[in-house]
Chain A
Amino acid sequence: MKTSKLPENPEEIGAFYKARFQEQQAFPSDAVFTALFEKIDQTENNISLDSKKKLNFFLHPKAFRFAASISSIVITSALVLAGSLAVVTVVYDHSFQPQKQEIKVLNNEQQTLEETKKTNKVAKVKAVEPEIETPKTKEEIIEVKKEIESIKETEKVVTPISSSTPEKLVEPKPTKEVVPVKGDNKHVLDEIQEEELFKK
C-alpha cells in the first residue's frame, strides 16, 4: 500500500500505521531456514545420542559393577557416619552435658559442703534433713519396734567396751560396800566371810 499524503493529526496516526503494518509480511533470507533446521537436526541427534549413551551405559556389565561399587561405598560411608554420630552423641551425653546447678546432700554427712561441691562438680550444694519414713499401719509399727529391739540387742553384744566410756550394762552392782583390806582389819574380813558362808 503506497502513501502519497501522511496524516498530520496525532489522533489519526495510530489507525494509519495499523492499516499499513498489520498485514505486512517481510521475507527472511533462506539462510535463516537452513540454519534453523540444521540446529534442530543437531539438537535431535544430540538428544537421541544422549539417550542411546545412557541406555548403553546401563546395559554394560562394567556399568553394573561400577554402580554396585559406588552404591557399596555410599552405604558403607552412611553406616560409618551413622555409627560415628551415635558414638559422638553418647560421649557428649556423658561427658559434656551441662553441669547440674544444685544438688542436695544429707545434713548428717561427714563431707563438708565445699568438698561435695568439688567432688560432684556442681555450682551449689544444699544441706537437707534426712527424710524419715513414719510407719503408718499397726503392723508396720510392730515391725519397726521389733527392728529397734533387735538393734538394741545387737548393740549390747557387739558394741565394744571403750576405755573412755565405761559400759553400764556390764558393770556389776556391788551388793555390799567393800572396805579395803589393810593389815590390822584382816580379822573383820574373815568374820564377814564366815557370815556369808553361814548364810549359804
Chain B
Amino acid sequence: MPGRLGAIDYAVLFAYLAGMLWLGLWVGRRLKTGDDYFLAGRRLPWWAIGFSLVATDIGATDIIGGGGNAYRYGLAQANFEWIGCVPAMIVGAFVFVPFFHRLGIRTIPEYMERRYSPAVRTTLAVCLLLFMAFNLGIMLFASAKMMSGLFGWNTTVCLLLTAALVGVYTSSGGLAADVYTDVLQCVVMIGGCLAIVGIGLAELGGVGPLFDKVREIDYSRRGGVDHTALILPADTSTPFPWTGIFFGLSLILSPAYWIGNQAIVQRSLGARSEFEAKASFVAGAFLKNVIPLVYVVPGLIALALYPNLADGDHALPELASKLLPVGARGLFLAAFLAALMSTVDSYINSASAILTLDLYKRHLRPDADEARLLRVGRFTSVGVMAWGIASGLAMGLVEGTGVYDAFQTLMAVFQGPLLAILLGGALWRRATARGALVGFLGGAATTGILFTLNQKPVQDALGIWPLFTVASPYLYYSIWSFLVAATLLVTVSCLTPPEPEEKTRDSVYRRRTA
C-alpha cells in the first residue's frame, strides 16, 4: 500500500530539488568552452570528485535493484561495494588515473585512437553510447517504479519530471554542475538511507536481533539462500557464487568500470592536478567501505520485517512507506532522488562528451572551436536525455526483470572486452589496432551469444540445457567475454605488424620520469 506524504515531506523534497537546481544553474553560468563543459575547466578538487565518484556509482538501480537483491540473496550483495570496488579503485588511483591525466585526454575513446586507431575509437564510442543510453532508461524506470510504489503516483509522470529536472541543470552546467551537485546528493543519499537503517534497527532491537531474525527466516525456508553470508558457494542458485564474485566482479567488471567507464574516468580527468586525481580515487575507495549501509542493510531489514514480499525490488519502497514516519519519508525520497540524479546527470554528461568529441568533432567538424563544442555539448545533453526517457518508458514493457540484473547484464556486454583492450593497450606495447578491434568485437559478440543461449525459448528451440546454473549469470558473461577478447587481442596482434614507435611512446604506461 502506498504511503502518504505529509507537508513536512513535501517541504524537505521541495527544498532539496530547488537546492539542486539552483546549484546546478549557478555553477553553469560561467561556462565558456567545451573543456569547461566536459572537464569543468580541469579545476575540480579531490574531495568533490571523491564524493562524486561514489554518488555516480550508487544510482537508483542500486537503491531499488541492489536493495532488492539484498532482500532476495542477502549480504553477498555487499561484495559489489567492497571487493567489487575498493581494490580496483586503489590500483586505478596509483596507475591508470595519473596516466590518463598526464595524457591530457578527454574521453576513453580518445585514448583508444591515440593508442590504436580511429576505428577502435569510433567503435568503442558507439558501444559506450548505446550502453549509457539504455542505462539511462533503466535508471529512470527504476525511479518511476520507486515513486509509484511509494506514493501511488503515475510512473510516466514521475519519469518525465525527474528527467526534466536533471536535464535542465546538466545541460546547463556540465561536469562542474554534476560534480558539485553530486557532493550534496551523496551526503543526502547516505543520510537518508542511514535514517531508514536507524529506524529499522530500532524496530528490530539492533544488529544482533536483525541477523537472528534473518537466520530464523532462512531456517524456516529450509535449504534456501544464507542471507547472512558474504561469500556464497560456487553452486549457489543466486547470481553471486564466489567464483563469479572473485573472477568476474573483482578481477574484470570492477577494474573495467573504474578505469574504463567514461562517466567515472571523466571526473578524474577534470581534477586540477595529477595528485588530486589520485586522491579523489583514494577518497572514493575509503568511502565505499560504508556504502552497503545505504542499501544492503536496508534490504536485510526489509527481509526481517516483511519476509513475504512478492518482488524483492519492492523491499526498500515497502520499508520507507511502512516504517518511516511523516517527515522522514521526504528525506528518504530525497535520498533516492539524489542517488538517481547523481548517476543520471553523470551519464548524460559523459554520453554528451562522447557524442560531441568522439563523433561530432572527430568525424563531422574537426575544426569546431571551443564555443561551438559547448553549444553542441548542451544540445546533445538534451538529446541524450530524450533518448533516456524513451528507453525508460520502454523498460516498463519488460517489467519483471530485476532492475539491477538488467543493468549488470548490459554492463557485461562491453566491460570485459573493454578491459581487455584497455589493459592490452596501456601495458603491452605489442598490442595492435587490428588486434584491439577484433578482440573488442569478438568479446562483445561472446556476451551476446551466451546471453542468447541462456534464454529459455532459445534453449527449448535448440533442445539444449542451460549453460549456467546460477540465476542471471552476468558475472560469468564478463569472464568469458574478457577471456575471448584477450585471446583475440593477443593472437591477432602477434599476427599483424607492430604499431609504430611514435604511436606507443606516450600511450603505453610507464611511471613518470623526472
User: Are A and B physically bound partners?
Assistant: no
